[in-house]
């Protein structure tokens, strides 16, 4: 038999094991309590930050800076496109107050006729240098209108929110010298006054002169206006007769010459009057005068080449024409009477026709 254990030893041993096994349980419970409190605090804090009652505003994207060069070229391109479309209203909106073309020559019709006769090609738009402190950017513009090269600069306000009033330009002025007198003159189909010093600010372009006068046309090249003064000189755009007008001139002159030469009076109406007195005391008999010119002179009348007179472009004259006239008439005097050739009489010269008069009257002489 094994020896018996003391009762006190057994109890002491059991008590010594209970505290050792109980501490881990107490510590674990405490840890859970602590962690639970921290978790509640973290969740509460996160909940406060993410509460829908206090949302965070989304940051606005920053605007990209506008390139003045690009802005100016876009405005210039819009200007050229409006011109290509013959849109006078759109062009007017883009121009600043200082740039004001004459209203008569700044219409859709005027621009359309220009582009119809002189189509736009080979456009070029390029900013020059950099914008100044006020945002003004110079832009070079060039294009062809037909065969005419148009080149000029504009100043674009790059600070403007849109092209309205953003363009400044030195407009050319279509200028007349007053040499057309009462002749009706039109520019690209619009009637204008042409007195000395009459000026019309216009867009850079090509402008055709014409006249509505019957039997007449204006000679010369179209006026290319790009800057400064574009002069419509009369001597560069002479009024000339149309083919129908030239035929009318020659016909009227021939009829006048025939009527004049047929007169037997001393006082003829075409500059062929003769005096009645002759040397030696004799005198011509009125009503007996015969006037004739040769066949070459008649052929010259049928080939007349008139030009505008210096004082009035509506009066067409051939100042080079001269035909010798043979005079024959009856005379009477102290020594008797007879019929003979008369020498020293005037020539038939300088016929002119006034195309400003509906009756187209003919006059003779220089």
- pLDDT of 39 > 90? The answer is no
Q: Mean of the per-residue pLDDT values for the chain? A: 85
- Do both 83 and 170 map to the same domain? yes
- Do both 218 and 84 map to the same domain? yes
Does residue 178 lie in a domain region? Answer: yes
- Which run of H or E residues covers position 160? none
Does residue 162 lie in a domain region? Answer: yes
- pLDDT of 276 > 90? The answer is no
CA dist list (Å): 67 to 11, 64, 83, 134: 97, 9, 25, 14
pLDDT band at 15 (very low <50, low <70, confident <90, very high): very low
| Number of domains the chain contains | 2
> By percentage, how much of the chain surpasses pLDDT 70?
81
- pLDDT of 331 > 90? The answer is yes
Per-residue pLDDT at 277: 83
Does residue 191 lie in a domain region? Answer: yes
- Do both 86 and 158 map to the same domain? yes
Per-residue pLDDT at 56: 57
The 10s digit of each residue's pLDDT in 288-312 is: 999 999 999 999 999 999 999 988 9
Domain termination residue (choose one: 241, 272, 298): 241
- Do both 185 and 137 map to the same domain? yes
Kindly state the tokens that stand for 16.
């010594």
The answer to whether the beta carbons of residues 174 and 187 sit under 8 Å apart is yes
Instruction: Kindly report the number of other CB atoms within 10 A of residue 346's CB atom.
Output: 17
Sign of CA pseudo-dihedral 214, 220, 224, 230: negative
Domain termination residue (choose one: 211, 241, 271): 241
Helical H runs in the chain? 7-49, 68-84, 88-94, 108-117, 243-262, 295-301
Kindly state the tokens that stand for 15.
């008590």
Does residue 43 lie in a domain region? Answer: no
- Do both 296 and 211 map to the same domain? no
Per-residue burial over 144-180, b if 16 or more Cβ lie within 10 Å, else e, is: bbbebebebebbbbbebeebeebbbbbbbbbbbbebb
Kindly state the tokens that stand for 56.
């965070």
Q: Which domain holds residue 271?
A: 243-363
CA–CA dist 243, 252 (Å, integer): 14
Does residue 122 lie in a domain region? Answer: yes
- pLDDT of 85 > 60? The answer is yes
- Do both 188 and 264 map to the same domain? no
The answer to whether the beta carbons of residues 137 and 156 sit under 8 Å apart is yes
Domain termination residue (choose one: 241, 266, 298): 241
Does residue 146 lie in a domain region? Answer: yes
- Do both 299 and 330 map to the same domain? yes
- Do both 198 and 248 map to the same domain? no
Does residue 72 lie in a domain region? Answer: yes
CA–CA dist 104, 190 (Å, integer): 7
Per-residue pLDDT at 278: 84
- Do both 254 and 346 map to the same domain? yes
Q: Cα angle vertex 147, ends 145, 152, to 5°?
A: 50
- Do both 340 and 352 map to the same domain? yes
Instruction: Kindly report the number of other CB atoms within 10 A of residue 359's CB atom.
Output: 7
């Amino acid at each position: 038999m094994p020896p018996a254990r003391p009762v006190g030893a057994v109890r002491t041993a059991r008590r010594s094991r209970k505290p050792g096994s109980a501490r881990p349980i107490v510590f674990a419970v405490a840890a859970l309590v602590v962690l639970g409190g921290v978790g509640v605090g973290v969740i509460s804090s996160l909940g406060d930050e993410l509460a829908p009652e206090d949302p965070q505003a989304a940051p606005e994207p920053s605007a990209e800076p506008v390139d003045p060069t690009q802005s100016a070229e876009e405005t210039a391109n819009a200007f050229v496109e409006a011109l290509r479309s013959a849109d006078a209203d759109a062009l007017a909106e883009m121009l600043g107050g200082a740039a004001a073309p004459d209203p008569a020559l700044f219409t859709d019709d005027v621009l359309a006729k220009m582009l119809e006769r002189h189509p736009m090609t080979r456009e070029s738009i390029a900013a020059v240098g950099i914008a100044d402190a006020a945002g003004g950017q110079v832009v070079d513009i060039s294009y062809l209108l037909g065969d005419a090269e148009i080149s000029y600069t504009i100043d674009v306000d790059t600070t403007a929110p849109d092209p309205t009033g953003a363009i400044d330009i030195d407009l050319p002025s279509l200028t007349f010298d007053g040499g057309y007198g009462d002749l009706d003159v039109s520019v690209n189909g619009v009637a204008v006054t042409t007195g000395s010093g009459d000026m019309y600010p216009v867009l850079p372009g090509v402008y055709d002169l014409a006249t509505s006068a019957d039997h007449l046309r204006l000679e010369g090249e179209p006026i290319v206006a790009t800057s400064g003064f574009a002069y419509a000189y009369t001597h560069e755009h002479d009024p000339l007769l149309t083919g129908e007008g030239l035929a009318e001139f020659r016909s009227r002159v021939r009829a006048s010459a025939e009527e004049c030469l047929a007169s037997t009076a001393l006082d003829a109406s075409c500059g062929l009057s003769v005096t009645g007195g002759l040397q030696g005391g004799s005198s011509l008999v009125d009503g007996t005068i015969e006037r004739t010119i040769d066949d070459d002179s008649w052929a010259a009348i049928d080939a007349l080449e008139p030009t505008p007179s210096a004082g009035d472009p509506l009066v067409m004259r051939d100042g080079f024409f001269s035909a010798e006239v043979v005079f024959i008439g009856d005379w009477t005097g102290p020594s008797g009477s007879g019929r003979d050739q008369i020498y020293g009489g005037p020539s038939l010269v300088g016929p002119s026709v006034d195309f400003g008069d509906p009756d187209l009257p003919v006059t003779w002489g220089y």
